[in-house]
Amino acid sequence: MISTYNKTMRKPDILPHRFAITYHPQLPQASEEAQAVSRYLYEQGVTEQLCASLYDENLRQQVRSGGFDVLVALGGDGTMLRAGRLCAPFGLPVLGINIGRFGFLIEIQRHQWRTVLPLLLEGNYWLEDRMMLSVSHWRGKTCLGTWEALNDVVVCRGQFVRPIQINARVDGIPLAGYNADGVIVSTATGSTAYAMAASGPVMPPELRNLLIIPVAPHLSMDRAIILAEGAWVTLSVNTSHEAVLSVDGQSPVTMLAEDEVRAGASEHSVSFIRFQDPGYFYRNLTKYMERNPIVGDDNDFASH
């Protein structure tokens, strides 16, 4: 039998030689490690590179203008989300190096990058494409904002500790009414984030389906629903107190009664650089579920 893993493995088109090396500015160890990565690449003959904070405007402008072949991001999953949102519209692959604690999105640990960077320079890696969400906020016929998300969009209660009412439609067809703290619309990537905390199912990262799951539902639908690829979800709120929306855990946006959030597959995908076989996802999942990654030792890259 031919493994379905082969269907998810896309080989790179070029050998990378222009590098963006970026890091979470609030993690001092990430900045120090990024400088070490930069020096190592210089020693390997990589002279076209820029090492800077993920928020550095010069770096972001060069990403937008196609100035790099690879972006190396040092941090945790939050850094990967930000890097993915930056790079996806321009087809720029992202390599994550975990300086954080969990790293569901990151294959390479801090002590492993000297082992894998030579493989990267030789083109011995594959690209894993992950679907993103396109999200918009509507008040009547007026669009108040648009976003792209790698994990999820959440419509939930604000500062008042009371449920809100949320109606969900799929492709315009009524699906369910929720009386809950909130409702999550998640990608497969986001199924290991907030959706998992809400007892949702774990979805393989290559899927392009949407997941809908309520948060603390009360006397209403309490099951997660996985939608077909290509479906669009509309969430409308009905509450006399505060409701908010948040995209990938970013700052909340206030919603009023009858506001709508629309979410579906984006035209963009994030490309993550991978070195192990696609079974890495399940190995990481098992590792994080069976023991606390904050106190445990990471497995060596060479042991996989």
Residue 65 identity (one-letter amino acid): S
Lowest average pLDDT, out of 241-245, 259-263, 280-284, goes to 280-284
Q: Can you give the pLDDT at residue 1?
A: 31
The maximal CA–CA distance of the chain, rounded, in angstroms, is 63
**Token pair for 108:** 């390479």
Under a CB-based contact definition with an 8 Å cutoff, are residues 11 and 128 in contact? no
pLDDT of 112 above 70: yes
Q: What is the DSSP letter of 140?
A: T
Mean local confidence (pLDDT), 83-100: 95
CATH 2.60.200.30 residue ranges for the chain: 132-267
Catalytic residues: 77
Under a CB-based contact definition with an 8 Å cutoff, are residues 262 and 256 in contact? no
Q: Which residue has the higher pLDDT, 234 or 6?
A: 234
pLDDT band for position 156 (cuts 50, 70, 90)? very high
The CA-to-CA distance between both ends of the chain, in Å, stands at: 22
Cα(157)–Cα(165) distance, integer angstroms: 9
CATH 3.40.50.10330 residue ranges for the chain: 4-125+275-303
Strand stretches in the chain, DSSP E: 18-23, 48-53, 70-75, 94-98, 108-109, 126-139, 142-149, 152-157, 164-170, 173-180, 182-186, 210-215, 225-227, 233-238, 243-247, 253-255, 260-274
- Choose among 181, 179, 180, 177: nearest CA to 159: 181
pLDDT band for position 69 (cuts 50, 70, 90)? very high
Please compute, for residue 262, the number of CA atoms within 13 A of its CA located in the half-sphere on the CB side: 16
User: pTM of the entire structure?
Assistant: 0.89
Cα(61)–Cα(98) distance, integer angstroms: 25
CATH label, 4-125+275-303, candidates 3.90.245.10, 3.40.47.10, 1.10.10.10, 3.40.50.10330: 3.40.50.10330
Under a CB-based contact definition with an 8 Å cutoff, are residues 143 and 262 in contact? no
CATH label, 132-267, candidates 2.40.160.20, 2.40.110.10, 2.60.200.30, 3.40.50.620: 2.60.200.30
Q: Can you give the pLDDT at residue 299?
A: 41
- What's the full length of the chain, in residues? 304
Owner of token pair 């072949």: 69
Under a CB-based contact definition with an 8 Å cutoff, are residues 78 and 47 in contact? no
Give 185-213 pLDDT, tens digit per residue.
Answer: 999 999 999 999 999 999 999 999 999 99
The side-by-side arrangement of strands in the sheet containing 210-215 is 225-227, 210-215, 182-186, 152-157, 243-247, 253-255
